[in-house]
A and B are shown apart, each in its own frame.
Chain A
């Protein structure tokens, strides 16, 4: 990619990531939440993949780490649900809101376990979508042998 694209994307990637974190954190007050914020987090990495290439992103966020983050996010979500069973008596009950940490309405600390669930889902969806697009880009590089100049060969990855 050209110099302009690379420079601008290296400035903008931090803003996109920060915006994704904002959407996840304020998910219980404003529209958004875990899934939308996770998609935005993943898209900042996809921007880097388009601008700098797959190997550069692999060095920064390797596939094994993304896979482990994926499993960790889902496990934390299930753990919050099971803690609801342990502390509150019913599966998935909002035990923080009811007894331990009610918070004030419209503040950031409110809603009990919902912001924690949002964060777990945000991490999981971000890592998951990053892995999906990364793996599809890896397929493209492997399957370049059958025919050259085919429209299926355009896409993210090396375009020097």
Chain B
């Protein structure tokens, strides 16, 4: 049976408005309700894998009404949001005992999830802006949730840059409306293919690249991420790094460039340039960090570069009318790396939160020898580090391999070499993390740290099992056909078959 699409947005919104009323003695009910909501979103996302549908809100058809569209790319991202959301909410049951005002935290968390689901499902460009703002404002408040010195500074920086990006995006939406006369994405793409790109639309596209590039933390626009992600509470860092920069940044860029505006050689080169500079600059800035979460945040920038590189390479091959097989392979590598990164980066942030809660510090030089005190955290952290560094048989290896193969086959030998070098430097910095946090000798003040059990362990174990199981998504042909291939087909078909636009 098909899931009515507004349920992805309505369920977390209704829960977010009911939860702040449950204060005092009703707090355990609030916790149970919040976890039920995220688990049900995960179940709904799994049920809608491989389906496509269009839902018209209020029974108004397209020029008058707004619609929600589910296709392969949307279902892939809904799955990522569901997995990371469920794991983070389960982790925060125990982790957020350190903070006050827990019902407000759950309410903001569910608002952020509702906003992200709305961005991914929206079929209308202004509706996308509204959900983008809902998710962004909830995340600004969540980054500064602890109200300590560093968190307020980081939240202010993130908020200023994010608001400027949203103003750019709204300006772009206004320019698109002025030039095409419609707000629905299918109608805009038909109009653009008919009238071609004029200066107004090219300026709107550059405003979108700047605005959504800032939300995705690509390199000229990355300055907020190394301050915001470490200062947030650990489950929020996992959500921010795991899904927010992807759903609000890369998904929208891919949707706008492939489906709405149409690929062309200049925009593909812009994507490749952003991707390569993010990869290289992110990883070289990450190697020298001594704060655990700040190191992970810089690695997020670098791994986002991989995804954008894959998508940009596919766009370049399609724009030059090259072989669509290599384009679809490059996009497959990019999108598979997107969902892999969601899983292993959120696992890394959750383990860093577990270590921080047990030892009280984030500085690598003050930790050491935790392997005897926290064996489970050490095991899950090792699995996640192996995934991000690209060690077989974990999922990171397969996506990086596909990207390198696609780059070599398309003739970009230098890009393939850069990808391999960045991967080796990633391995280097995670060996450093493992050595300083877990191996070595235990300092005296940490003699009494204990393993964090219960829900935190369950959430980390769930993600660790997924790290291994997701390599099956690419190796097992039936799973690949259902989950990954529709997402790739959406983008490739949108670029090669200009008249048959968004799923109708």
Contact = CB atoms under 8 A, between A and B. Distances in A.
The answer to whether A and B come from one shared complex is yes
Interface of A: 67-68, 71, 74-75, 78, 81-82, 84-85, 88-94
A80 to B, nearest CB: 11
Contacts of B57: 90-92
A93 B20 contact: no
A74 B17 contact: yes
Contacts of B164: none
Contacts of B58: 84, 90-94
Contact of B14 (A78, A85, A88, A89): A78
A75 B14 CA distance: 6
Nearest to A90: B59
B10 interface: yes
Contacts of B369: none
Contact of A75 (B6, B18, B55): B18
Contact of A91 (B4, B13, B17): B4
Residue from B17, B55, B57 having most chain A Cβ neighbours under 10 A: B17
Given A81-B10, A90-B57, A91-B6, 4 more contacts: A78-B13, A78-B14, A78-B17, A88-B59
B410 to A, nearest CB: 44
Contacts of A67: 20-21
B153 interface: no
B56 interface: yes
Interface in B35-91: 55-59
Closest 10 CB pairs of A and B: A91-B6, A74-B17, A92-B58, A90-B59, A78-B14, A93-B58, A93-B59, A71-B17, A75-B17, A92-B57
Contact of A71 (B4, B6, B21, B55): B21
B10 A78 contact: yes
A91 B118 CA distance: 14
A94 B58 CA distance: 7
Nearest to B7: A91
Interface in B4-39: 4, 6, 10, 13-14, 17-18, 20-21
A118 to B, nearest CB: 16
15 contacts: A67-B20, A67-B21, A71-B17, A71-B18, A71-B20, A74-B17, A81-B10, A84-B58, A85-B4, A89-B59, A91-B4, A91-B6, A91-B10, A92-B6, A94-B58
Nearest to A91: B6
Name B's interface SS: helix
A91 B6 CA distance: 7
Nearest to B23: A64
Contacts of A89: 59
Contacts of A78: 10, 13-14, 17
A68 B23 CA distance: 11
Which of A81, A90, A91, A92 has the most B CB atoms < 10 Å from its CB? A91
Nearest to A113: B58
A91 B66 CA distance: 12
A88 B18 CA distance: 25
Nearest to B14: A78
A88 B56 CA distance: 13
Contacts of A75: 14, 17-18
Nearest to B19: A71
Contacts of A71: 17-18, 20-21
Nearest to A92: B58
B229 to A, nearest CB: 27
Contacts of A81: 6, 10
A82 B21 contact: no
A95 to B, nearest CB: 10
A67 B58 CA distance: 30
B144 to A, nearest CB: 14
Nearest to A89: B59
Nearest to A85: B4
Contacts of B14: 75, 78, 82
A63 B56 CA distance: 39
A88 B57 CA distance: 12
A108 to B, nearest CB: 22
Given A78-B10, A78-B14, A82-B10, A68 B55 contact: no
Which of the listed residues B4, B13, B56, B58 has the most CB atoms from chain A within 10 Å of its own CB? B58
A96 to B, nearest CB: 12
Contacts of A68: 21
B387 to A, nearest CB: 39
A93 B57 CA distance: 7
A91 B18 contact: no
